[in-house]
Amino acid sequence: MESDSDSDGSHISATPPRKSTPSPPHVVSKKTRIRIKPSKSKESPSGSSKKPSQPEPEPEPISTHLPFQIRRPSDAPSIAPSIETLPAGYFSSSHSGSFSKFRRAFVNLEPFQTQPVATSAASHSRAETRKPGNQLLPNLIGASTPLPSFKRRTCSATTDGNFVKLNLSGGKRKKFLNKKGKFSGKRYKRGKFKPRHQKEEQEDTVEELKQRGGSKRREIDGDAVEEAAALARQEPSEENLLKLLNLVYGYDCFRDGQVEAIKMVLDGKSSALVLPTGAGKSLCYQLPAVILPGVTLVVSPLVALMIDQLRQLPYVIRGALLSSTQTPEEASETLKQLRQGGIKVLFVSPERFLNEEFLSIISSLPAISVVVIDEAHCISEWSHNFRPSFMRLRASLLHKTLKVRCVLAMTATATTTTLDAIMSALDIPSTNLIQKAQLRENFHLSVSLVRNRMKDLLNLIKSPPFSEVQSIIIYCKFQYETDQISRHLNDNNILAKSYHSGITAKERTYVQELFNSNKIRVVVATVAFGMGLDKRDVGAVIHYSLPESLEEYVQEIGRAGRDGRLSYCHLFYDDETYFKLRSLTHSEGVDEYVVNKFLHEVFPADKYSCGKICSLIKESASRRFDMKEEVLLTLLTHLELGDVQYLQLHPQINATCTLAFHKTPPLLLAQKVSAIAVILKRSENKHGQYTFDIPTVANDMGVTAVELTNQLYELKLMEEITYEMKDLAYCYRVIEVPTDLLSLSADITQWLSEVENCKVRKMDAMFNAANFALNQCDKMQGCSDANHTPCLQRKILDYFSGVENADFCKKIGQSSPFLRADIKVFLQSNSQARFTPRAVARVMHGIASPAYPSTAWSKTHFWGRYMHIDFKVVMEAAKEELKNFVGKDML
């Protein structure tokens, strides 16, 4: 899931500049979605903006069909720069690690406009003239002050802003590498949403910032920090830790659970930490990183999350990251710094543990103080966000191979079953669990029944208390919904942007930057938005549709109210959405005979296959087995990390190579390079193009696929050859061939079935909580109208505590009089296709799959007709009809 988070989009103000004279009406395309009325700008203090004797005629805007108005550069009003922030595209290769100013924009908010960025030299000159007493390095992730008693959030109330520091190298292009030294960045000056009747602009006062956890910039005394760290190393008492906390972060006390976690890490004890979203989990490894001598390795599921945490490291901690977005040169430079001891905190993805070079470097380091596993629930297949690559993070790898001293597993949402799986995988004793309430108290939780979803949403946002909220996140399930809603909100004068995995990484980063700096009021997003977001003043979270689990619900509402203020979380509820989402929980199910077929392909019949390198081309295998690529990876990972290690996964490769020779004739070059000799033997020659399979050639040479591709790359640099790679594939080495494939197939199928049932139960628990609040709540415990904070909190706490729900309401049907007849008609009308019971059930539930995509099968009128009937019931009916249709012996 690694993705590039660079952005070269500009920060654009939500308010156009004011002018001394009224502007002529804008000529805007009919397709324009955002309309912002121009207003007058403040006059320059120097009085330089005097009216000319004869005003020049204003140029006509360029007519386009784009969803915004384009003006010439000369149209830009001359104003003093009033907002300081990070330059867009900061992480791109064309920018060095410096901060720049930007001017208020004069176009509407679309992600394709750019702003001029001040040069690095200008940034350095500002840093030199800054007074030494004006520096502040607050860390909002690790904020340790206790949450203040929350008060009603109003639009006019100002917020503390997002103070961010990038830990990057200076002038050289060392991506995501910070240097120890003084921080010369500027802090954000927040834009503010205001109702139309409010005309006065207000500034944050120092006193208000202090109340909300902010403070003035200050100088960090490096010598004092080193002295305090030495004292804490000798005696990790709370007094010494508090002194260090104050020096590094400026806070006077710890939050609940932080001291216990820090002391566990300093004692070298592996532990599990469960704290609410935004409660300061990151500080629990950052402060020990200052004290401990070795490297702190942080495993994180998303590049965006790594970048966010890297930005917020205090400058006394040298940090870096390794990601797939880096060039080989950048990755090599980071590893070089790691070997030389120049990095204290390194952020990596779990996929990095497939890289043998990385494992070799890590295991050769003098000491790894602690391995931190962020979002540790991804380890467990029973969690709401299982990641197969996280299964690799087992105690055997961390302790034995990498010689790790201590492991800290952190999460905000985990049931007792998930926690047991995490602690078992990492060998964490049950006594080393630090768990606090998974839900903060400053939430106002409400539920309403959907009538007209879009209209209901608009009415909600335009009505108090949501109309008084400055920043809102709306969560949807489908990408097309985010685009539709954001357009609708903009048409109704609510500045909004959509965010989902379907847009580019730069566009996603641009939207997040606009939201963080309050240039837009609403982000309409899928579940892809949130990790890596550290915006403390989000005042409301709206669920446009039902979340898939209570874990997801808690995690998403946790992005509101991090400043301690009362925040509003609303959920739109309806049965149809529940039926649709419950159907989708069956999208990754697999039948036993498909697993058996898969195993026969993974393990060749050749008795000499042990030790051989094999590949499985992702796209074709996914269609052939009607199995998602994520499920293919889950099965391969299970075969590697199960009770018996049958294979060893290697990094993914392009399995097919087409090569052409240029300088030296092939036969002559084959006499000098052994790889070419094998390629000529194993390839198919068509018109001078030699096509071959990478794993086959690697096996003949006795090298890995990566080593072979490195040799080809060297020949390409010598201009001897050119080549193209295709067919992305999972690559693995066979360790042991199973003796009983049928028994292994049955065991794997049973495990996958339990995982599938777990997802269904999570969906049902989420539905039950919302249904109870709306239809069964007696409103005796403080609930009223749409407000169901007490009963929803009780349901959530019971769920995470493992308490069985006695009030379970199950609306899913168990039978239909027309089901068998409709399946029979469907099979007869599609007699040319080869169906399985699961494939038929998926069509009836409207579930797309690799072999039966929605583009082709959603055209049938049976598509999604039986979502309200339990999937297993439909599947059993399909099995019986298929027996009658093709004969009992065929199934």
Full DSSP string of 833-854:
S---HHHHHHHHHT---SSS-H
pTM higher than 0.75 for the full model?
A: no
DSSP labels for 112-152?
A: T-------HHHHHHHHHHS-GGG-----STT--SPPPPP--
Q: What is the dihedral of CA 77, 83, 89, 90, to 10 degrees?
A: 140
Domain ranges of the chain: 1-117, 256-435, 453-584+757-801, 604-737, 819-890
Q: How confident is the model at residue 887 (pLDDT cuts 50, 70, 90)?
A: low
3-state DSSP call for residue 320?
strand
Contact 138, 250 (CB under 8 A): yes
**Taking residues 224-249, what's their average pLDDT?**
88
pLDDT at 505 over 70: yes
CATH number 3.50.30.10 given to 256-435 = no
The pLDDT of residue 604 is: 83
The residue with greater pLDDT, 443 or 172, is 443
pLDDT at 853 over 90: yes
> How far apart (Å, rounded) are the C-alpha atoms in residues 332 and 352?
14
Q: To 5 degrees, how large is the angle CA 116–CA 473–CA 105? A: 20
pLDDT at 199 over 50: no
pLDDT at 753 over 50: yes
> How far apart (Å, rounded) are the C-alpha atoms in residues 599 and 680?
31
Please give the DSSP secondary-structure letter assigned to residue 68. Answer: S
The pLDDT of residue 116 is: 40
pLDDT in tens, 41-75: 434 344 444 444 444 444 454 444 444 444 444 44
pLDDT at 262 over 50: yes
**Taking residues 553-578, what's their average pLDDT?**
91
CA nearest neighbour of 313 among 331, 339, 289: 289
DSSP labels for 215-248?
A: -------HHHHHHHHHHHHH---HHHHHHHHHHH
The pLDDT of residue 368 is: 86
Catalogue the E-assigned strands of 479-612: 496-499, 522-525, 540-543, 567-573
Alpha helices, H only, 347-397: 356-364, 395
- Bridging pattern class, strands 721-734 and 647-661: antiparallel
Burial class (CB in 10 A: 0-12, 13-18, 19+), 276: buried
Q: How confident is the model at residue 532 (pLDDT cuts 50, 70, 90)?
A: low
Q: What is the dihedral of CA 452, 454, 457, 463, to 10 degrees?
A: -80
| Phi-psi label, residue 316: left if phi above 0, alpha if psi -120 to 50, beta otherwise | alpha
> How far apart (Å, rounded) are the C-alpha atoms in residues 2 and 348?
10
pLDDT at 162 over 80: no
pLDDT at 274 over 70: yes
Query: Hey, do 256-435 and 453-584+757-801 end up sharing a CATH topology, with the first three levels equal?
Result: yes
Residue at token pair 């995995």: 501
Farthest-apart Cα atoms in the chain, separation: 96
Radius of gyration for the alpha carbons in the chain, expressed in angstroms and rounded: 29
pLDDT at 625 over 90: yes
- Which residues contact residue 424 at a Cβ distance below 8 angstroms, ignoring those fewer than 6 apart? none
pLDDT at 98 over 50: no
Q: What percent of the chain has pLDDT over 70?
A: 73
Q: To 5 degrees, how large is the angle CA 592–CA 597–CA 600? A: 125
Contact 362, 402 (CB under 8 A): yes
pLDDT at 33 over 70: no
> How far apart (Å, rounded) are the C-alpha atoms in residues 708 and 651?
13
**Taking residues 376-387, what's their average pLDDT?**
81
pLDDT at 581 over 60: yes
- Bridging pattern class, strands 271-274 and 433-435: parallel
> How far apart (Å, rounded) are the C-alpha atoms in residues 775 and 791?
12
Contact 354, 651 (CB under 8 A): yes
The pLDDT of residue 726 is: 93
- CATH number for 453-584+757-801: choose from 3.40.50.300, 3.40.920.10, 3.50.50.60, 3.40.640.10: 3.40.50.300
pLDDT at 29 over 60: no
Relative orientation angle of helices 618-625 and 629-641, to the nearest 10 degrees:
100
3-state DSSP call for residue 336?
helix
CA nearest neighbour of 312 among 534, 533, 139: 139
The pLDDT of residue 41 is: 41
pLDDT at 403 over 70: yes
pLDDT at 865 over 80: yes
Q: Across all residues in the chain, what is the average pLDDT?
A: 77
CB atoms within 10 A of CB 640: 19
The pLDDT of residue 293 is: 87
**Taking residues 82-87, what's their average pLDDT?**
38
SS3 content of the chain, % helix, strand, coil (to 5): 40, 15, 50
> How far apart (Å, rounded) are the C-alpha atoms in residues 603 and 647?
9
CA nearest neighbour of 450 among 771, 188, 101, 712: 771
3-state DSSP call for residue 663?
coil
> How far apart (Å, rounded) are the C-alpha atoms in residues 114 and 289?
38
The pLDDT of residue 501 is: 83
> How far apart (Å, rounded) are the C-alpha atoms in residues 209 and 217?
11
pLDDT at 123 over 50: no
The pLDDT of residue 592 is: 93
Please give the DSSP secondary-structure letter assigned to residue 784. Answer: B
pLDDT at 468 over 70: yes
- Which residues contact residue 515 at a Cβ distance below 8 angstroms, ignoring those fewer than 6 apart? 471, 497, 523, 535
Q: How confident is the model at residue 234 (pLDDT cuts 50, 70, 90)?
A: confident
* Dihedral sign, Cα of residue 473, residue 478, residue 479, residue 485: negative
- Which residues contact residue 874 at a Cβ distance below 8 angstroms, ignoring those fewer than 6 apart? 819, 823, 840, 841, 844, 845, 866
**Taking residues 381-404, what's their average pLDDT?**
78
The pLDDT of residue 130 is: 40
- Which residues contact residue 818 at a Cβ distance below 8 angstroms, ignoring those fewer than 6 apart? none
Beta pairing partners, 732: 614, 649
3-state DSSP call for residue 593?
helix
> How far apart (Å, rounded) are the C-alpha atoms in residues 537 and 828?
58
Phi, psi angles (nearest 5°) of residue 22? -60, 145
The residue with greater pLDDT, 84 or 827, is 827
The residue with greater pLDDT, 30 or 838, is 838
pLDDT in tens, 296-337: 999 988 887 888 788 888 888 899 998 877 888 888 888 888
> How far apart (Å, rounded) are the C-alpha atoms in residues 598 and 601?
5
- Which residues contact residue 176 at a Cβ distance below 8 angstroms, ignoring those fewer than 6 apart? 91, 168, 306, 307, 310, 320, 321, 323, 326, 330, 334
